[in-house]
Amino acid sequence: MGAATEPAEARRDAAEGRIYLDHNATTPLAPEAAQAVRDAMLQAWGNPSSSHPAGRKAKELIGCARESLARMVGGRPEDIVFTSGGTEANNMVIHTARRHFCESQARPGDGRGTPHIVTSSVEHDSIRLPLEQLVKESLAEATFVAVSPQSGRAEVDDVLAAIRPTTCLVSIMLANNETGVIMPVTELSQRVHALNQWRVAEGLPRILVHTDAAQMIGKGRVDVQELGVDYLTIVGHKFYGPRIGALYVRGPGTTTPLHPMLFGGGQERSFRPGTENTPMIAGLGQAAELVSKNWEAYKAHMQDVRDYLEARLEASFGKQRIHLNSHFTGSKRLCNTSNFSILGPGLQGRRVLSHCKMLLASVGAACHSEKGDRPSAILLSCGIPYDVAQNALRLSVGRDTTRAEVDLVVQDLVQAVAQLDQDQ
Ligand SMILES: Cc1ncc(COP(=O)(O)O)c(C=O)c1O
Ligand SMILES: O=C(O)CC[SeH]
Sequence letter at residue 168: C
Distance 217 CA to ligand 1 centre (A): 12
Ligand 2 pocket member 366 (CB < 6 A) = yes
Report the pLDDT value the prediction gives residue 108, as an integer from 0 to 100: 56
Identify the pLDDT of residue 174.
98
Find out whether the beta carbon of 394 lies less than 6 Å from any atom of ligand 1: no
Measured between alpha carbons, how far is residue 315 from residues 21, 310, 392, 407, 414 in Å?
20, 9, 18, 11, 11
What separation in Å is there between the alpha carbon of 245 and the centre of ligand 1?
9
Going by alpha carbons, the residue nearest to atom 4 of ligand 1 is 86
Closest CA to 112 of 97, 123, 101: 101
The catalytic residue among 64, 335, 367, 382 is 367
Question: Which three-class secondary structure string do you get for 27-41?
Answer: CCCCHHHHHHHHHHH
* Shortest-distance atom of ligand 2 to CA 177: 1
For residue 111, the model assigns a pLDDT of 60
**Does the beta carbon of 371 sit less than 6 angstroms from any atom of ligand 2?**
no
Ligand 2: centre distance to CA 164 (Å): 31
Longest C-alpha distance within the chain, in Å?
71
Q: In this predicted structure, what is the pLDDT of residue 345?
A: 94
Angle between helices 125-136 and 86-104 (to 10 degrees): 40
| Residue 128 · residue 118 · CB < 8 Å | no
* CB of 152 closer than 8 Å to CB of 184: no
The C-alpha atoms of residue 225 and residue 123 are separated, in whole angstroms, by 23
| 8 Å CB contact between 272 and 262 | yes
The reply to whether ligand 1 has any atom less than 6 angstroms from the CB of 235 is yes
Rg (CA), the chain: 22
Q: Is the CB of 127 under 6 A from ligand 2?
A: no
Strands ordered across the beta sheet of 116-120: 80-83, 245-249, 231-235, 208-212, 167-171, 116-120, 141-145
User: Distance, CA 86 to ligand 1 centroid (Å)?
Assistant: 5
3-class SS at 223?
coil
Q: How far apart are CA 189 and CA 84, in angstroms?
A: 26
Task: Name the residue with the closest Cα to ligand 1, atom 7.
Answer: 86
Cα 321 to its chain centre, rounded Å, is: 30
Q: Is the CB of 267 under 6 A from ligand 1?
A: no
Is the alpha carbon torsion for 90, 91, 95, 96 positive or negative?
Answer: negative
| Ligand 2 atom 1, closest CA | 365
ipTM, two decimals, is 0.98
Is the beta carbon of 339 within 6 A of some atom in ligand 1?
A: no
Contact 179, 147 (CB under 8 A): no
Distance of CA 62 to the CA centre of its chain: 23
Rounded distance, CA 237 to CA 27, Å? 6
> Taking CA 58 as the corner, what is the angle to CA 52 and CA 64, rounded to the nearest 5 degrees?
130
Task: Please tell me if the CB atom of residue 27 comes closer than 6 angstroms to any atom of ligand 2.
Answer: no
Q: pLDDT at position 8, please?
A: 63
Nearest ligand to residue 337 Cα? 2
Closest ligand by atom to 378 CA: 2
CA distance 129 to 123: 10
CB neighbourhood size of 357 (10 A): 11
Atom in ligand 1 nearest the alpha carbon of residue 173: 1
Count Cβ atoms below 10 Å from residue 413 Cβ, excluding itself.
Answer: 25
Residue 48 and residue 55 in contact, taking contact as beta carbons nearer than 8 Å: yes
Residue located nearest, by CA, to atom 5 of ligand 2: 365
Q: How many helices (H) and strands (E) does the chain have?
A: 13, 12
| Distance separating alpha carbons of residues 127 and 165, to the nearest angstrom | 22
Pairing of strands 167-171, 208-212: parallel
Examine the residue annotation and report whether 367 is marked as an active-site residue of this protein.
Answer: yes
Q: Mean pLDDT by 10-residue block, N- to C-terminus, for the chain (424 residues)?
A: 55 77 98 98 97 98 98 98 98 97 72 90 97 98 96 97 97 98 98 96 94 98 98 98 98 97 96 97 98 98 98 98 92 97 96 97 85 85 94 98 98 97 87
HSE-up of residue 107 (Cα within 13 Å, Cβ side):
0
Q: Is the dihedral of CA 401, 402, 403, 406 positive or negative?
A: negative
The pLDDT, as a whole number, for residue 1 is 39
The answer to whether 163 and 207 are in contact (CB under 8 A) is yes
